[in-house]
Amino acid sequence: MFMISSLSGCAAPWDVTPVSSTGLYFDTVITITLYGHGKRQYIDECFKIADKYEKILSAKDPDSDIYKINSADGSPVTVSPECTEIIKAALSFARESDGAFDPTIGALSTLWDFKTATAPPNEDKINDALVTVGYENIHINGNDISLSGGARLDLGAIAKGFIADKMKDYLISQGIKSGIINLGGNVLLIGSHPNGSSYKVGIQKPFDDEGNFAFTLEKSDCSIVTSGIYERYFEYENRLYHHILDTKTGYPVENDISSITVITKKSTDADALSTMLFVMGRDAALSYASSHDDVDVVIITKDGSIIRS
C-alpha cells in the first residue's frame, strides 16, 4: 500500500543509517525502521509489544481477552487495562458515527471470508448476524467486560493503530526521535528524518500493480492509514465484494469510494476513522475533516478522481 522514504537523496552517515526489521503479527507484515547503529534492540522490543497485544486482542486465540469475552455467553470477563482501553476507544467512534463504525461486528465479519471465498454468505445467516451488531451491547464495569444480545467483538478496524501508538510511546520513552512504524500499511511516522526532512509516503493506486501510486504525501510526525476496496475482495456474478462491511445491511459498503486515506496524529484514530469515514461516505468524510482541524482525508473515487479535504 505504501512506499516510504526520506525526501533527502544524500548518502546517510552511520548515525542516521536506517535500521529495519520485519515480523508477522495479526496476519499482518510489520516493518519498523529506526535510524543509527544500536537501534535494533528497540525494534526487538517493539515486536515484543506486538506479540503482547496480539495475545490480548486476537479473536482467534483462546487465551486472549477478546476470545474470552466473546465466549462468555454474556457473563462479565475481567480483562487487562489495555483491553478495556481499546474497547473504550472503539466505543467512542461507534457513538460518534451512530454505529457506522461498530466493534460488535464480530458475528457478521466471521461469516465473510475474503481469502478463499468465491460467493457471499447465506443471506439468512447475514440477517441473523446483523441482529447481534450494536455497540450498546457492550457493558463495561471497571475492567469487567460483558456482551449482551449475542454480540461478538471484532477490533480489526482499530487494533493495528492502537498497537502502533503503543510502540511509538515506548520508542519515545527511550529517546527515539525519528522512525517509521508500518503495520501492514498503517503508517506511523515518528518525528522527521534525522536530517530534518519529511518522509515521502506513496499511496497505492487501487487495483493497480503494487508500487504504482496514485499520489504521494510529504509528512512528519503523524499517522497515515488507508482503507480501500482493493485490499481484500472477491468477485461473484459480476459484482465485487470487499471487506469493509455496512453495519446496517451486513454486506460490503456501496458508495463511490475506492479508497480513503486519513492523516492525523494518533494511529488509533487514523485506523478507526479510515473505516468509519469510508462507511459514512464521501460527503460525510469531507465534512468531518473540515470540522476537525487535526484530521485530513484524501479520497480516491471509483472513477479515479482524487479529492482532498
Identify the band that residue 6 occupies on the pLDDT scale cut at 50, 70 and 90.
very low
Residues 117-148: tens digit of each pLDDT: 999 999 999 999 999 999 999 999 999 999 99
Q: Is 301 exposed, middle or buried (0-12, 13-18, 19+ CB in 10 A)?
A: middle
> Is the pLDDT at 226 greater than 90, yes or no?
yes
Q: What is the mean pLDDT of residues 252-256?
A: 97
Q: What is the mean pLDDT of residues 261-290?
A: 98
Check: CB of residue 197 under 8 Å from CB of residue 243: no
Task: Enter the pTM of the model.
Answer: 0.94
Q: What is the per-residue DSSP string for 227-290? A: EETTSSEEEETTEEEES-B-TTTSSB--SSEEEEEEEES-HHHHHHHHHHHHHH-HHHHHHHHH
Confidence at residue 185, expressed as pLDDT on a 0 to 100 scale: 81
Query: Cβ–Cβ contacts within 10 Å for residue 220, how many?
Result: 15
> Is the pLDDT at 3 greater than 70, yes or no?
no
- Helix (H) or strand (E) holding 34, with range, is strand 28-35
Distance CA 102, CA 90 (A): 7
Check: CB of residue 223 under 8 Å from CB of residue 181: no
Confidence at residue 231, expressed as pLDDT on a 0 to 100 scale: 86
Question: Residues for the chain: how many in total?
Answer: 309
Amino acid at 264: T
Confidence at residue 2, expressed as pLDDT on a 0 to 100 scale: 52
Confidence at residue 101, expressed as pLDDT on a 0 to 100 scale: 98
Q: Which domains does the chain have, with CATH numbers?
A: 2-54+158-308 (3.10.520.10), 60-147 (1.10.3980.10)
**CA of residue 296 relative to chain centroid, distance:** 16
Q: What is the mean pLDDT of residues 144-157?
A: 97
Confidence at residue 98, expressed as pLDDT on a 0 to 100 scale: 97
Q: What is the mean pLDDT of residues 94-114?
A: 97
Could you say which DSSP state residue 220 is in? -
Residue position matching grid coordinates 512506499: 3
Average pLDDT in the chain: 93
